[in-house]
Amino acid sequence: MCMRLEKYRWLLAILAAALLELPFPLAGPMPAWRGVFAWFGLVPLILAALYEAKASSRAVGAKERPLRRSFLVGYLAGVLWYMGNCYWIYDTMHIHGHLSPLISLLLLIGYSLVLGLYFGLFTLSLVLVKRATGSMQWALLSAPVLWSGIELAASRITSVPWDQLGYSQVDNPLLTMLAPWTGVYGISFVLVTANALLASSALLKGGAERRNFTFAGILLMAFGLGGLLFMRAIPSTGATAMLVQPDLDVSQENAWNDAEWQRQMEEFEHLASDQCAGAKYIPGIPELEKGEIVPACQQNLPPPALIAWPESPAPFYETDPKFRSALSEIAKNVQAPMVVGNVGIDFNAQDHAYHFYNSGLVISDTGERIGRYDKIHLVPYGEYIPFQRYMTFAHKITGRVSSLTPGMERKVFRINGHYYGVFICYEAVFADEIRHFAELGSEVFVNISDDGWYGDTSAPWQHLNMVRMRAIENQRWILRDTNEGVTAVIDPNGYVRKSIARHQRGALAASFGFIQDRTFYTMYGDLFAWGCAILSLVVVGWSARKGLRIYLSEQKSSVKSSNKTGQSKS
């Protein structure tokens, strides 16, 4: 059995990559049942790595190089997984970045080759622990710690925490109870624990220990999957926001002449004020929930608590008097404050240059400027080009400005007695950054985004699920306003309560509430993940050191044996 699986270790790596694609959105939204694949999708990779070590401990010869092979097995799975999960990079770069098909493909491959290293590091670490301890049990038990620590490394070193394993369970209300304490990393920890215990059925020798490990894995998976049947209570609401979805074409300049400007502003005001039209909604995630609910329209409704206009290709520049005047008039006419995506512009006296920001401008219900949030975490190759001196082939995806400056401060805004935190697009994937808005006192989150750059790929749906996890971690309502969709209101348990269809102009009257309580994760962030990362460094460092001693001892014994053989022959 051992040598047979050893022969197919590369196929096991490919199988693991394929299985791990399934618990994430592939083209449209993901039905909750597909999260089941995350509970066993990693098993083939663990088998491929640790059977390698087991076989190599036999007389298979020094040329087998088990450490190198274990790394390459994981690396293969990682590269394939990233290419499948993030295939939308090709579409984004080719269609909207105007790069050639070849360069777009090379960017996707390069991205996958870099991030696939984390999978290789995971399998290498497993085998190091196995060889150092001589115990398959310790290698299996170390797997969830190693995986969670490596996920944190991906977030902090390469700044790409995209679709971490725990996001696959965003629709599992029982498992997501961990998120307010551990963030998404605690969910990943449980999933990898189940995978490692299930893998023990093939890795451990016969006896009570194998039965106990396997039974524990089956029990944990059954308990976790039972969470899909669990329902959380719907939090109370007391306010309504109008989330405008302008559905502007991201591939066009949208440089409006005076007549077009006037038409667009009139429609903006109409969408922002017509709560009856905005009352139509989809009771969940678009394309998963087919029906649209049209409630009876109530008369004499109070003004909305907030109006949001998303990040979009609209020609909105804060320094443009026409833009400021239009916003002021709309706010006063509708009698509601506003958060509007725009290009913020400042002149820096130190370098005597204008700086451009991807911003959310906040306007009071009297038309006065309250403040502005400047996006801190910019999108590489979308809003700036890393190492621009060397990346002459990389074009800007957004055509509004040549290069954006990152913001420097996270802010919350007091609007009519309540505190709002505004974050923009890609920032939503950085859990430890978003929690600071709640830590600063935000009672509700506003996420403005333009996912039109992704087209009809998996990315908008992957992005939505990560935003949902931010709601769970911080126990906050999220008002998610997008240019082309998915525009939605997300409750503190991560459920999409209302949404509107993608690729249509409209508005959503989003009911929400204000929450002041702070979760453990809000206050302490990635404490759990840091604990796993530190423990991983200790374990891997000790294992590598002991492994080196074992290797040197084996080499010394080999030399002595060779010398004795030579003397005997002579």
365 backbone dihedrals φ, ψ, rounded to 5°:
-70, -10
Q: Whole-prediction pTM value?
A: 0.91
Determine the pLDDT at residue 276.
87
Domain locations along the chain: 2-231+526-559, 239-249+258-291+302-507+519-524
Q: DSSP letters along 10-51, please?
A: HHHHHHHHHHHHTTS-SSSPPPGGGGGGGGTTTHHHHHHHHH
Phi and psi dihedrals of 509, rounded to 5? -80, 100
Count of CA atoms in the C-beta half-sphere (13 A) of 296: 2
The span from the CA of 545 to the CA of 193, in Å, is: 26
User: Average pLDDT, stretch 101-123?
Assistant: 94
Q: What distance in Å separates the CA atoms of residue 479 and residue 310, rounded to the nearest whole number?
A: 11
Residue 292 or 396, more confident: 292
Residue 189 CA: distances (Å) to CA of 118, 184, 192, 415, 531: 16, 9, 5, 39, 12
What pLDDT sits at residue 27?
A: 87
Task: DSSP letter for 496, please.
Answer: E
For 370, the enclosing helix (H) or strand (E) is strand 369-374
Residue 500 pLDDT: 96
- Please name the residue that has the structure tokens 């694949």: 37
pLDDT of residue 61: 43
Cα dihedral across residues 301, 306, 307, 308: positive or negative: negative
Higher-confidence position of 563 and 342: 342
Find how far residue 470's CA is from the centre of its chain.
10
Predicted confidence at residue 557, as pLDDT, reads 64
pLDDT in tens, 330-384: 999 999 999 999 999 998 878 878 889 999 999 999 999 999 999 998 887 676 6
The confidence band for 138, taking pLDDT boundaries of 50, 70 and 90, is very high
Predicted local distance difference test score (pLDDT) of residue 60: 42
pLDDT at 352: 79
- Quick check: helix, strand or coil at residue 87? coil
Structure tokens belonging to residue 415: 């609007």
Q: What is the CATH number of domain 239-249+258-291+302-507+519-524?
A: 3.60.110.10
Residue 70 has pLDDT above 80, yes or no: yes
Residue 164's nearest CA partner among 431, 532, 538, 524 is 431
Comparing CA positions, the residue from 70, 77, 78 lying closest to residue 128 is 70
User: Residue holding tokens 């196929």?
Assistant: 11
Beta-bridged to residue 499, according to DSSP, are 282, 488
Phi, psi of 312 (to 5 degrees): -160, 170
- Indicate the pLDDT class of residue 559, thresholds 50, 70 and 90: low
The whole-number average pLDDT for the span 14-24 is 97
* pLDDT exceeds 70 at position 246: yes
DSSP bridge partners of 371 = 362
Average per-residue pLDDT for the chain: 88
**pLDDT, tens digit, 9 for 90 and up, residues 283-313:** 999 989 878 888 888 777 899 999 999 999 9
Q: Please, what's the largest Cα pairwise distance for the chain? A: 108
Confidence of residue 94 (pLDDT cuts 50, 70, 90): confident
| Of the listed ranges 126-140, 417-431, 553-567, the one predicted with least confidence | 553-567
pLDDT at 58: 45
| pLDDT of res. 59 | 40
Q: What is the pLDDT of residues 476-523, one digit of tens each?
A: 999 999 999 899 999 999 999 999 999 999 999 999 999 999 999 999
Structure tokens at 494: 């991560």
> Omega before 73 cis (within 30°)?
no
What pLDDT score does 474 carry?
Answer: 98
Structure tokens at 398: 């957004």
Q: What is the pLDDT of residues 148-187, one digit of tens each?
A: 999 999 999 998 899 999 999 999 999 999 999 999 999 9
| pLDDT above 80: residue 278 | yes
**Is the pLDDT assigned to residue 397 strictly greater than 70?**
no
How high is the pLDDT of residue 387? Answer: 57
> Quick one: average pLDDT of 133-146?
93
| Tokens standing for residue 115 | 């991030």
pLDDT at 402 over 70: no
How many alpha carbons fall within 13 Å on the CB side of residue 290? 0
288-297, 414-423, 435-444: least confident range: 288-297
Per this entry, what is the length of the chain?
570
Express as a percent the part of the chain with pLDDT over 70. 89
Q: Name the strand (E) or helix (H) holding 412.
A: strand 412-415
